[in-house]
A and B are shown apart, each in its own frame.
Chain A
Amino acid sequence: MKHITFSQITGTSNGYYAWLGWLAAFAAAALGATWYMEHNGHYVTGMTNQIVWGTPHVFAVFLIVAASGALNVASISSVFGRPMYKPLARLSALLALALLAGGLMVLVLDLGRPDRLIVAMTTYNFRSIFSWNIYLYTGFFGVVAVYLWMMMERRMNRYTRIAGFAAFVWRLALTTGTGSIFGFLVARQAYDAAIMAPMFIVMSFSFGLAIFILVLMAISRGTKRPLGDAVMAKLRNLLGVFVAGVLYFVTVQHLTNLYAAEHSGVEDFILRSGGLYTGLFWIGQVLIGGFVPLALLYHPVTAKDRSMIGLAAAMIIIGGFIQIYVIIIGGQAYPLVIFPGYEVSSSFFDGRINAYTPSLPEIVLGLGGVAVALLIVSLGVKVLPFLAESLSDADIDPHYVAPPKPDTSVSADVADDSEASATV
């Protein structure tokens, strides 16, 4: 394995600027959507007093969960000492910060009073998991920023392992906090389960890695930097394990609920009679987000096809988003059981399946969060050396054995001793 050279991307092509322009447009549209929702009030959204958290929360939770997962590649390098992941570690940390920023933006801009963010930052109720999360989220920025510094500053490299370990522990706590937002809700049949926290952690592994793989493939293609089969094979295999892990936790979650008679109503709703939500669960979450990507990742034919790995990652992202949608929206669509054993009716939709249709401003706000995350990554890789110049097998695979025939493209890669060198 040669010395890894990191460098910024050139970032002067028309395509790059057009890409930034698109992302900025989406971010601006999100601000416009926020203004529209705040000016008129939330009645212009699909959210109601029944479905109090809507599409913005699906985007926000998805991005926040994926953020902690995106950091995993760096953790595998620093904490678990896998050298092959080292060239990927900086991008992994940058992506984690970017996704968290995007998610938090959506979460904050959907508040009834986003202008009171300063209140949320200064007035705390420490019994609230939300309060803990404010610390966990802001702390994550700090911990990962320090971690990046340790990785990128040669004099600090010796602290990389300890910083990576701190970041790894922090991201576990962060996702525990996110899962516990739902796990701690004793009132609702669909939540109130300790399994939420570990399930969210495994979901973060899966969603975060899927996003990382797509971003890595896109950047490698856009910058024409080599991306070897060895590293893709590692990432592919890891992704498959995580997807299987998510399926396992989902199975345990529902089996446990099915066993408790008091939860049979909501389980029947999600798994059998819930119409849209049942369809989303089985087709979206389980099939598109689970079994099909698993088949693509492990079938001998598709496993070797890079585009199929990309397709699998995209499906995992879509399925993961649907999973969060089923948890958040589906969980609220099923009515609160205030009077067990009774048929209930009222002017406030008691006892009725609650309807929800995402509105355009909600979707625009959510996509704006995605755009901001991608914008941070796109700008980040231009201003600082986050990317390895080559991820070819010859450069990063410690077990690489050169093929018998001389390969000129490999020998052209010359290692550079400098910590970071800008491309021209």
Chain B
Amino acid sequence: MSGTSDFTPSRRALLTGAGALAGITIASGVTLISTGPAGAVTGPATSKNRWGLLIDSNKCDAGCDECVVACKAENGWDGHNRPETDPQWIRKVNLKDNKTGATHSLPVMCQHCENPPCVDVCPTGASMKRADGIVLVDKHVCIGCRYCMMACPYKARSFVHEDITGQKQYMPRGKGTVESCTLCVYRIDEGGIPACVEACTEKAGRGAMTFGDLNDPQSDIAKDLAKRATTRLRADLGLAPGVHYQGL
């Protein structure tokens, strides 16, 4: 079993059609509502694309968290002011080199690994990787065992510890299930870019985050990766994350 899940047109049509009927309550706390105009869906995700991010820590400032603010607003994961149990899909991490004292600041989110351990360990297959490399959790199949959280080397996943309010129509969540950065998959499917990347450029004016197709040699991200020295977190684990970092 590859662990890769194709989002087929029929499945998308089902989801969209269901939305058109105003919404189905799948289970308590999980409601699917129309995800937008049906015309925006152009076809299944395929392995022709490999979506990824390039984060330049040299352009990232420790005092700036616009990417986090944008993600929170976009996906509605604002917590209950309980930091230990509130979810965090993206966080700013500040680093100080033990020897040299050099400091860095950078955002960490789901690294959308090519070989994601969270997908490997998930007993039900709720944790899945799309053909285009985006790692997601199917909230309807997740049983809340949290094995994926034990397996993720990046602490990218959160468990929904309490009731949810203010859910977004395009981002169903569920108490008792696990969630993480989706790379704003619904935006990508409509030709857009993730909210964090947008905020980094438009609100913070930093342009520290580049989003694009790693498989397309003409994309900005592929060109940047071809000429700059970049690294991936815990590269030693061989997970081949889709998120690259520069300046570390």
Contacts and interface: CB of A to CB of B under 8 A. Distances in A.
B149 A52 contact: yes
Contact of B92 (A42, A124, A187, A347): A347
Contacts of A111: 143-145, 176
B206 interface: no
Nearest to A123: B124
B150 A53 contact: yes
Decide if the interface of chain B is mainly helix, strand, loop or mixed: loop
Contact of A128 (B120, B159, B248): B120
Contacts of A349: 83-84
Contact of B155 (A119, A343, A348, A355): A348
Interface in A99-125: 111-117, 119-120, 123-125
B73 to A, nearest CB: 16
Contacts of A43: 80, 82, 85, 161-162
A42 B153 contact: no
B87 interface: yes
Contacts of A339: 93, 95, 233, 248
B98 A343 contact: yes
Contact of A130 (B123, B162, B174, B234): B123
Nearest to B96: A343
A342 interface: yes
Interface in A104-157: 111-117, 119-120, 123-131, 134
A159 B3 CA distance: 41
A186 to B, nearest CB: 6
A296 to B, nearest CB: 36
Given A119-B124, A134-B123, A49 B159 contact: yes
A186 B151 CA distance: 7
A325 to B, nearest CB: 16
A344 B147 contact: no
B233 A53 contact: no
A112 B159 contact: yes
Interface residues of A, number: 50
A113 B84 contact: no
B98 A341 contact: yes
B178 A130 contact: no
A124 B125 contact: yes
Given A53-B146, A341-B99, A342-B98, A125 B159 contact: no
B210 interface: no
Nearest to A350: B93
B21 interface: no
Contacts, number: 180
B83 A41 contact: no
A52 B148 CA distance: 10
B67 interface: no
Contacts of B155: 49, 336, 338, 348, 350
A58 to B, nearest CB: 14
A188 interface: yes
Contact of B153 (A40, A50, A187): A187
B104 to A, nearest CB: 8
Contacts of B154: 336, 338
Given A48-B84, A338-B108, A120 B96 contact: no
Interface string B164-175: 000000000011
Interface in A314-350: 332, 336, 338-339, 341-350
Which one of A120, A125, A341, A344 has the highest number of Cβ atoms from chain B below 10 Å of its Cβ?
A125
A153 B208 CA distance: 73
Contact of B123 (A48, A49, A125, A187): A125
A187 B117 contact: yes
Q: Which of B82, B144, B152, B237 has the most CB of A within 10 A?
A: B144
Interface of B: 1, 3, 27, 80, 82-88, 91-99, 104, 108, 117, 119-125, 141-147, 149-155, 158-163, 174-178, 233-234, 237, 248
19 contacts: A43-B85, A48-B85, A49-B159, A50-B84, A112-B160, A113-B177, A114-B143, A117-B143, A124-B124, A125-B120, A125-B124, A127-B120, A181-B147, A185-B150, A187-B151, A187-B237, A342-B96, A349-B84, A350-B91
Interface of A: 38, 40-43, 48-50, 52-53, 111-117, 119-120, 123-131, 134, 181, 184-188, 332, 336, 338-339, 341-350, 355
User: Which 5 A-B residue pairings sit nearest by Cβ, starting from the closest?
Assistant: A112-B144, A112-B176, A41-B162, A130-B123, A187-B153
